């Protein structure tokens, strides 16, 4: 253990450029580029969007050997915080190979490659937590990022921050201010009659990682879950896969878990390959929380584990999806409002001439940039292009503009940039869209808590989101927001 801590301090000191021991509150800054891109960015811009950044410094071999575990960890922390994996500088061939490996994952990981000046002289991984200002949140770096003590450390940090936020809110005596409480439901029919709480369900995932529903649910705005025994799991596998696929296509920050009682881990692991998020299949422990839930059944729970629905039949997929979508719509509004004030993480994008640009460069040229995130297969996206062109013409006189960010690679990474440029130009010509458009990579949807399009963001010269984004083709709402900002 002492060797791991020494290695941790050594690496952190090298990154910090200091010779002293890393201490809580110390700034941890470095320059790195996103895997597959070329331009280095300061770590401060990456930290800024999240209260807690789970930072893992490791060599490429460790990353490759633990891809499933990293996927699971990223899914768990993503909604509010960030998992950032930092690897040393490597030659171009190795970086291309690593980029292709990461692209094949169902959960796109955030991997940063250190600049050549920063050296890592240690064999094992180093793990620490950093706040949005780049300050260390712990006194000692640790080794294994998947160890139970790291899970507990993260949970303790979350709890401490939530308590501080609640205390600050109470002190200011502003009950209307956003706090870590579940949003109120306006539709009387959607108010749950059940009082069940699934907050204390524990167990181990099919990858043998510890699971605690209190932490897992906290990462999602809406959490769907099934409770069943091993026999029902196998008999309803097709329906469960369909539900998993549906949930994965919806709000980013929503989850679907399958809690299996008395199952064989090796059998479950084989069946889990059919799921988009196989890490969310959990062999649960016996306990009061799980025993109070009717099984087999489907449920939907809030971020704090409060069950929002009566038990539903696993085979009644249509009814479940309808209820899920209804609750999702309520939560997504809160998610959009929560983006205001956040920094847009710098990305490399490609214009219609094949030239690469940084998003920071694009934003810096305008008092306000209206960013429309769209996809070539999204009919509402195409339908609003003419109106966006008209809006752009009026904005140019006011020091602002509309730009389009094509997000196809977020859902179909097999499409090449050249293919997407060709498709974009064809569609833009058909729709008379004369504003600038850029092809983005898979990371574009990491900027927001869900993956739906069209989505319109309002970003200032500093790269900050200055108003609640508009989800859907609602041009009147976009225009109203623009008028309030200029």
CB under 8 Å to 435, separation ≥6 — which residues?
A: 388, 389, 392, 401, 402, 403, 404
Per-residue confidence (pLDDT) for residue 451, from 0 to 100: 56
pLDDT digits (tens, 9 = 90+) for 10-19: 444 444 443 3
* Across 168-172, average pLDDT: 52
Evaluate if pTM is beyond 0.95.
no
The model's confidence at residue 206, banded by pLDDT at 50, 70 and 90, is confident
The model's confidence at residue 275, banded by pLDDT at 50, 70 and 90, is confident
Per-residue confidence (pLDDT) for residue 274, from 0 to 100: 72
State the architecture of 194-335 in CATH terms: 3-Layer(aba) Sandwich (3.40)
Half-sphere exposure of 33 (CA within 13 A, CB side): 16
Question: Where in the chain are the domains?
Answer: 2-156, 194-335, 348-485
pLDDT digits (tens, 9 = 90+) for 85-143: 888 888 888 888 888 888 777 666 888 888 776 655 555 688 888 888 788 887 666 77
State the architecture of 2-156 in CATH terms: 3-Layer(aba) Sandwich (3.40)
Decide which of 438 and 205 is more confident.
438
pLDDT digits (tens, 9 = 90+) for 370-412: 999 998 888 888 989 999 999 999 999 999 999 999 988 755 6
Among the ranges given (93-97, 127-131, 176-180, 340-344), the one the predictor scored with the smallest mean pLDDT: 176-180
Per-residue confidence (pLDDT) for residue 173, from 0 to 100: 45
- Check for a shared fold between 2-156 and 348-485: yes
Per-residue confidence (pLDDT) for residue 189, from 0 to 100: 38
Residue 37 has pLDDT above 90, yes or no: no
Decide which of 189 and 466 is more confident.
466
The model's confidence at residue 5, banded by pLDDT at 50, 70 and 90, is very low
Residue 314 has pLDDT above 70, yes or no: yes
* Across 457-468, average pLDDT: 92
Domain boundaries 348-485, CATH class: alpha beta
């Amino acid at each position: 253990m002492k060797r791991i801590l020494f290695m941790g301090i050594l690496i952190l000191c090298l990154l910090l450029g200091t010779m002293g021991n890393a201490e809580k509150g110390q700034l941890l800054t470095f320059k790195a580029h996103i895997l597959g891109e070329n331009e280095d960015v300061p770590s401060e811009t990456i930290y800024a969007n999240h209260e807690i950044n789970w930072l893992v410094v490791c060599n490429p071999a460790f990353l490759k050997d633990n891809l499933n575990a990293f996927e699971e960890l990223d899914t768990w922390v993503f909604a509010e915080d960030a998992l950032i994996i930092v690897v040393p500088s490597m030659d171009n061939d190795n970086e291309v190979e690593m980029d292709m490996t990461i692209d094949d994952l169902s959960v796109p990981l955030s991997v940063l490659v250190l600049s050549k000046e920063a050296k890592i002289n240690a064999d094992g991984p180093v793990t620490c937590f950093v706040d949005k200002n780049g300050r260390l949140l712990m006194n000692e770096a640790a080794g294994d990022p998947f160890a139970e003590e790291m899970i507990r450390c993260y949970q303790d940090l979350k709890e401490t921050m939530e308590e501080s936020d609640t205390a600050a809110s109470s002190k200011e005596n502003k009950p209307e201010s956003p706090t870590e409480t579940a949003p109120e439901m306006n539709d009387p029919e959607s108010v749950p009659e059940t009082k069940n709480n699934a907050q204390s369900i524990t167990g181990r995932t099919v990858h043998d990682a510890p699971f605690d529903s209190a932490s897992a649910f906290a990462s999602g705005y809406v959490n769907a879950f099934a409770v069943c025994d091993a026999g029902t799991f196998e008999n309803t596998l097709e329906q469960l896969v369909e539900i998993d696929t549906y949930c994965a296509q919806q709000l980013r920050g929503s989850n679907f878990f399958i809690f299996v009682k008395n199952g064989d881990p090796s059998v479950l692991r084989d069946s889990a390959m059919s799921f988009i998020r196989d890490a969310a299949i959990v062999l649960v422990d016996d306990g009061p929380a799980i025993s109070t839930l009717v099984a087999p059944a489907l449920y939907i729970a809030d971020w704090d584990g409060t069950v929002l629905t009566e038990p539903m039949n696993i085979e009644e997929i249509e009814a479940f999806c309808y209820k899920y979508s209804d609750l999702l719509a309520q939560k997504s509004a809160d998610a959009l409002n929560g983006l205001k004030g956040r920094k847009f993480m710098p990305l490399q994008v490609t214009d219609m001439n094949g030239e690469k640009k940084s998003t920071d460069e694009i934003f810096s040229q305008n008092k306000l940039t209206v960013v429309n995130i769209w996809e070539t297969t999204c009919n509402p996206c195409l339908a609003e292009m003419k109106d966006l062109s008209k809006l752009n013409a009026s904005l140019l006189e006011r020091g602002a503009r509309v730009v389009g960010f094509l997000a196809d690679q977020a859902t179909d990474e097999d499409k090449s940039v050249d293919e997407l440029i060709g498709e974009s130009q064809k569609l833009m010509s058909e729709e008379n869209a004369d504003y600038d458009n850029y092809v983005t990579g898979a990371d574009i949807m990491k900027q927001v808590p869900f993956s739906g399009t069209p989505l319109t963001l309002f970003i200032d010269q500093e790269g900050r989101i200055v108003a609640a984004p508009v989800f859907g083709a609602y041009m009147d709402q976009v225009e109203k927001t623009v008028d309030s900002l200029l």
